[in-house]
């Protein structure tokens, strides 16, 4: 099952990548013609913050550590939610994460071995289903529920990027190790993974109708095709 297939019950909600605090990464995306949301999201109680860029069918989230003390307090109760930050450059750990949601709120759910997660920054009706993460070399994956998932109904989001992109039509995540994926884990069926020397997130918009490629390395492990 591909989460980008027309009839898949699960679809991409968002993809995220860890960056350094300070805005340099988002400045680089602005420079190629992508316009982010006007406000930054603070994840109260978790010590992280993020800035997002909306597209017609998903959003890209740049995530960073905002408050180290708050983060450490959160990790004391949720040790399996490990921040990657900029350590991927030396460790090879995966700096990406994948959020999914059901195609509609009425779509029949699929039974997975997941853990329910809530946080004080989330809307009251929302929660995440977190999949087990077998290894830090693999991307965390979750299913979003409630209005956190169906963000189109909660607020306006910008369209009309100067770059001229609209929809994500494909993506690929390169990781430095696939050895830790258990045979029964659903991750390979949900997320397109391949092995490589360095982590890389490749996003293909609008079936690459413009024939353009933007490689954001080494600032961040991201390549955009449009």
Whether pLDDT at 129 is above 90: yes
Average pLDDT (204-221) is 97
Question: In this predicted structure, what is the pLDDT of residue 78?
Answer: 76
Average pLDDT (4-31) is 91
Q: How far is CA 163 from CA 28, 66, 123, in A?
A: 13, 29, 32
Strand runs (DSSP E) across the chain, as ranges?
10-18, 41-43, 48-54, 59-65, 96-102, 115-117, 127-130, 141-145, 168-175, 193-195, 200-205, 213-215, 222-225
The model carries a pTM of 0.93
107 versus 188: which is more confidently predicted?
107
The model's confidence at residue 208, banded by pLDDT at 50, 70 and 90, is very high
3-class secondary structure, 148? helix
CATH 3.90.110.10 fits 10-225, yes or no: no
Question: In this predicted structure, what is the pLDDT of residue 109?
Answer: 92
The model's confidence at residue 156, banded by pLDDT at 50, 70 and 90, is low
Q: What is the DSSP letter of 207?
A: G
């Amino acid at each position: 099952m591909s989460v980008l297939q027309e009839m898949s019950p699960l679809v991409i909600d968002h993809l995220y990548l860890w960056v350094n605090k300070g805005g340099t990464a988002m400045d680089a995306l602005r420079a190629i013609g992508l316009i982010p949301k006007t406000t930054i999201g603070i994840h109260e109680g978790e010590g992280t913050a993020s800035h997002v860029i909306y597209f017609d069918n998903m959003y890209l989230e740049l995530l960073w550590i905002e408050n180290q003390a708050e983060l450490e307090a959160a990790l004391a109760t949720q040790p399996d939610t490990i921040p990657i930050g900029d350590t991927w450059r030396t460790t090879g750990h995966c700096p990406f994460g994948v959020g999914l949601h059901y195609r509609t709120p009425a779509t029949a759910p699929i039974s997975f071995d997941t853990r329910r997660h809530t946080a004080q920054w989330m809307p009251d009706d929302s929660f995440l289903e977190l999949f087990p993460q077998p290894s830090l070399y693999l991307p965390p994956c979750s299913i979003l529920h409630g209005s956190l998932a169906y963000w189109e109904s909660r607020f306006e989001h910008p369209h009309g990027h100067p770059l001229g992109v609209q929809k994500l039509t494909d993506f690929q995540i390169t990781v430095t190790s696939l050895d830790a994926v258990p045979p029964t884990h659903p991750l390979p069926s949900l997320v397109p993974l391949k092995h490589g020397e360095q982590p890389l997130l490749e996003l293909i918009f609008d079936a690459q109708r413009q024939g353009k490629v933007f490689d954001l390395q080494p600032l961040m492990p991201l390549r955009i095709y449009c």
